[in-house]
Structure 1
Amino acid sequence: MGFGVFIHRSDSIYDDSPAEQYQFPSQYLRRVEAWVGDWIIYYEPSKVKDTRGYFAMAKVQQVIPDPVKPAMYLALIEAGSYLDFANPVPFNGAGGVVERGVLNDEGQNSGRAQSAVRPISPSDFNRIVDLGLDISEPLLPRVDEIGASSGFQDEQAPFQFEQNRNRVSYIGSRIVRDRIFRRVVLRAYDERCAITGLKLINGGGRAEVSAAHIRPVEANGPDIINNGISLSGTAHWMFDRGLISLSDDLEILISRQVNDLGSVKAFINRTRRALPPRRQLERPHPHFLRWHREHCFKQ
């Protein structure tokens, strides 16, 4: 048992799908097998343009031989464990290198920093996770999501880990995961509804949009940016009920069951396509869009 780092880049030549599997050569097999049942952190190298640094975490469920490529293996990710960081963590932070284990005795970067698959100490793991989950700032749900009786207010004190707080319980909390997912998705879409194109900010400075899962959590949809889209309340309601959907190239599809077609056409933005995130790697994945068309969309 232990913690590890998987280097991954969006243009990887490997058959990687961070929320599902990570492909690696046999030289790393013994190392990865030691992490089965435990957590890894994904890292994007600094030489990648607009690098995300340490950008997500996930739990390794199993390691199997790649059924297609000899001498290659797959680390299978436990369903529902993948979590994008609320804030990607740079390799060099305000206090220097955040992964101290890559430094040599002289405090300089060693060859360990170049290893695509490497172990990480519990202290380095906890440091990166704490920074990535942004626990120094509040991650609040909307008032209408929790009910007026809960007592939550916008000025609620930030989350803080207690010394003995179990991070695994925190990471697995549906409320926490939804809050982080909302922050990641809304940042990718600049707090703008992808269907209408509207960016509405309420009197409290909060964006009036939500982070919608394309494939719902209840249907084993992961909390990954490519399974998310920023939607206003009405657009979210229509999307969840299959009255609108998206093609692989983000064309907005309108169900024949819509009773007021003219109003819906006036409701969506003029391009007739969902507005994409700025970064190509954050766009909705065709795999999830296809699932929505096949299982939700009322054609």
Structure 2
Amino acid sequence: MNDAWLAFSAHARLSAPHGQGFFLHRADSIYDDAPDVRYEFPKAYLKAVREAVGDWIVYYEPVKAGPRGYFAVAQVHEMIESPSGNGMWWAMISPGSYLEFDSFVPRLLHGSPLEVALREPDGSPKKGGAQQLAVRRLPDADFARIVNMGLPQDLEAIEASRYDRKPEAADPAALFERPVHERLTRRAYRDVAFRRKVRAAYDERCAISGLGLRNGGGRPEVQAAHIRPVEENGSDSVRNGLALSATLHWMFDRGLIALDIPDPAIPWDVRVLVSDNKVPRDVADRLIRPERQLTLPKDRRDWPHPANIQWHRENRFGMGDPSALFSR
């Protein structure tokens, strides 16, 4: 376990006792947002964001922007003024803290808001007021309820028995009820959550070979690879992930292959680069689709982030060897 992760985990445990926060975000936002890195906001929310520094927040997508509802959790590391000089501010997300929910959580459950502050005494939704705020505080009980719905306690057990033809009956007493904050910082749990989301985004098929192989029990052979490693401040966002076969995952991690977006105006044209001085042509031709183009998720919000692609290409491809030859 790396030092950055240990520091993050320790800080998260120290910051756990008080209330948490809420950030409203939409994929088509006019703000310079990257949910796993920063959240841009106007000066009007300075006080609310300052109070959230050191705390966990949940991300929420409004109904008019899409169906996701509450969709992720992260921890706020610090607040800085936007370097653009446009009068905006950034809430910087603690590296390694962002995690998308396994299941999106709706704002309403049986017609009643999950957040107590948004409910009338009869349980119906309030109008106006707090629900109009893009940044607000969130009581611990509301935060835990939302996270437990999006990232269930037994997610690891669910994944372990997912492809069992005759799964054993679960023993409720065997499930160790970990506090929400402890679960969110535990690497083993986060790996399972990340793997499930990345596999689902790519329809359980390898993004480079296009193959969707399964073993005899129906379990997909495809793995979830981080584009920018966690130990290098990479996040557990699907946009920092790729579904790859075991061999291609190994090659990608070692910089034998990489990705490139030749024209930023055509973000869906993601090309596969091959280090020709390290990978024999016949091997590349067997493992990679002839057109050398990455197969992208159906949901554009899950496409690899260009910044992550660039980081991997500059820091892993050819393992920093400027003489490394490549082909597209």
Q: How does 1:239-250 map to 2 (within 5 A)?
A: 239-248=252-261, 249-250=269-270
Amino acid at match of 1:81: S
Partner of 1:53: 69
TM-score (norm 1): 0.88
Change (3 A) 1:47 1:161: farther
Alignment of 1:114 with 2:132, yes or no, is: yes
Residue 136 of structure 1 deviates from its aligned partner by 4.5
Q: Is the 8 A contact 2:102 2:196 kept in 1?
A: yes
Structure 1 residue corresponding to 2:212, chosen from 199, 205, 230: 199
Structure 2 residue corresponding to 1:73, chosen from 89, 92, 96: 89
Cα distance in 2, alignment partners of residues 94 and 269 from structure 1: 47
Change (3 A) 1:277 1:155: farther
Residue 105 of structure 1 deviates from its aligned partner by 3.3
Q: CA RMSD in A?
A: 2.3
Partner deviation per Cα, 1:51-89 (whole Å, 9 max, x = no partner)? 321111111111222232354221111111111111121
Alignment of 1:88 with 2:85, yes or no, is: no
Change (3 A) 1:94 1:172: same
Q: SS of the counterpart of 1:234?
A: helix
Residue 98 of structure 1 deviates from its aligned partner by 2.3
Q: Is the 8 A contact 1:87 1:134 kept in 2?
A: no
Greater shift, 58-67 or 234-243, is seen at 58-67
Q: Is the 8 A contact 2:40 2:91 kept in 1?
A: yes
Q: SS of the counterpart of 1:34?
A: helix
**Percent of matched pairs sharing the same residue:** 46
Residue 12 of structure 1 deviates from its aligned partner by 0.7
Cα distance in 2, alignment partners of residues 19 and 240 from structure 1: 21
Q: How does 1:162-241 map to 2 (within 5 A)?
A: 162=177, 165-241=178-254
Residue 174 of structure 1 deviates from its aligned partner by 0.7
Alignment of 1:19 with 2:39, yes or no, is: no
Residue 200 of structure 1 deviates from its aligned partner by 1.5
Q: Is the 8 A contact 1:186 1:230 kept in 2?
A: yes
Partner deviation per Cα, 1:77-133 (whole Å, 9 max, x = no partner)? 111111111112122235743233212334223322222112222111111100111
Unaligned 5+ residue runs, structure 2? Answer: 1-17, 162-166, 262-268, 319-323
Q: How does 1:248-287 map to 2 (within 5 A)?
A: 248=261, 249-287=269-307
Partner of 2:61: 44
Structure 1 residue corresponding to 2:315, chosen from 274, 295, 299: 295
Partner deviation per Cα, 1:117-174 (whole Å, 9 max, x = no partner)? 12222111111100111335425469xxxxxxxxxxx759588452xx3221111111
Q: Is the 8 A contact 2:256 2:279 kept in 1?
A: no
Q: Is the 8 A contact 2:254 2:317 kept in 1?
A: yes
Residue 48 of structure 1 deviates from its aligned partner by 1.6
Aligned residues: 286
Cα distance in 2, alignment partners of residues 72 and 129 from structure 1: 29
Partner deviation per Cα, 1:258-278 (whole Å, 9 max, x = no partner)? 342123113212432111000
Q: How does 1:116-155 map to 2 (within 5 A)?
A: 116-137=134-155, 138-140=157-159
Amino acid at match of 2:215: N
Change (3 A) 1:241 1:157: farther
Amino acid at match of 2:246: G
Cα distance in 2, alignment partners of residues 130 and 54 from structure 1: 12
Q: Is the 8 A contact 1:87 1:131 kept in 2?
A: yes
Q: SS of the counterpart of 1:69?
A: coil
TM-score (norm 2): 0.81
Greater shift, 180-189 or 197-206, is seen at 197-206
Alignment of 1:33 with 2:50, yes or no, is: yes
Q: Is the 8 A contact 2:69 2:106 kept in 1?
A: yes
Q: Is the 8 A contact 2:27 2:65 kept in 1?
A: no
Cα distance in 1, alignment partners of residues 253 and 25 from structure 2: 32
Change (3 A) 1:68 1:206: same
Change (3 A) 1:141 1:231: farther
Q: SS of the counterpart of 1:47?
A: helix
Question: More helix by proportion, 1 or 2?
Answer: 2
Cα distance in 2, alignment partners of residues 161 and 94 from structure 1: 29
Q: SS of the counterpart of 2:143?
A: helix
Partner of 1:150: none
Amino acid at match of 1:17: A
